[in-house]
Amino acid sequence: MLSTRVITTGTLSKTLGQFATSGLLVRGTNCVLLQQHRAFSLSSKPFFNSSQRNKVAETEVKNLKEFRERSWPHPVYSEQEMKDIGLAKFWYQVIAHRKAKDWSDWVALSAVRFFRRAFDLVTGYKHDKQIALGNKNPNTTDAFHMTPDKWLARFIFLESIAGVPGMVAGMIRHLHSIRRLQRDQAWIETLLEEAYNERLHLLTFLHFRQPGWFMRMMILGGQGVFFNTFFLAYLISPRTCHRFVGYIEEEAVITYTRAIADLDNGRIPEWSNLRAPDIAIKYFNLKPDAVMKDILMVIRADEAKHREVNHTLANLQQTEDPNPYALTYGNRNKPHPTKGLEFTKPIGWERTEITVKPSD
């Protein structure tokens, strides 16, 4: 006769716990060996104590710093080199401009002028032509005034778009190199470095202002349209695309030059002693006490360099010529393309000017 024994829930849990502790769980006539594991804790006790957490945090910061130091280093510009980008004349700066010479140049220039007008409309930017011509004092009360927020909105939108061409061109040339099983003549590195540089410009300005939903939607839409348009255009005519970017960078130099002029004229007092963020100080190799003007000066220098690089690349044979900014020149005192501002050519180096000879 079988006897029945009622086991309460508490007793069952205790019994199963004893079996689990011993590593055995009886199910019918089968015996299953269980491997003991530490159970997950639902308590609020941290896995690391405070000293361990601090040690981990310090290690992560150190690793991040070491990683950043291995990224593309930013060239060091002298103060005079940055000032020489624009030549002072009355109230404005004379900015170098490359004249269109053929249909490809005209297509690129016309596209830039169209996008410039649309960009001015989106960012609420306009500049009094009489001020630019030196016929009107920019400090008068009736002159149009760009507020700090308007300047930052323009910078953020500009840099969010400016980071696209280098990445698209580098990606296409990277895929071409893989597909054709050929070297790319060192163009990819320069193009990706340009995109990286523009992204750091954007991250710097985001330290001063976070855009609202409208600007974010404009950036999203602008990037989507521009990325695909530039992608298709680069497949058709990379030379025209590089000329297009060269003209865009001309406009960027004008924008930053006017912002610097407004700052110098006291029209943006909020930026007079505005300290530069750490990301800008470390990346641009600025002084520890750098301010907003230092940021604008070095970013304008970067845009001027991008202007030169893209105009130069547009002057070359796209599939045959090596990247002149990756070459080693024997006579370093002779003017030649460089990553810095030692030898500048605002409208780009012509192909005949950068042919490397054995005697160089």
Could you list the residues known to form a binding site for Fe cation, using ranges.
Answer: 159, 198, 201, 249, 303, 306
CA distances to 28, 214, 252 from 228, rounded to whole Å, are 66, 22, 22
Task: Give the separation between CA 269 and CA 262, rounded to whole angstroms.
Answer: 9
Contacts for 304 with CB less than 8 Å, ≥ 6 apart: 85, 249, 253, 341, 344, 346
Listed residue (311, 323, 350, 316) closest to 183, CA to CA: 323
Tokens encoding 62: 């150190």
The half-sphere exposure of 329 on its side-chain side, counting CA atoms within 13 A, is 18
SS3 360: coil
Burial class (CB in 10 A: 0-12, 13-18, 19+), 2: exposed
Dihedral sign for Cα 64, 70, 72, 77, please. positive
Length of the chain in terms of residues written? 360
Q: Binding site residues, as ranges?
A: 159, 198, 201, 249, 303, 306
Tokens encoding 64: 């991040």
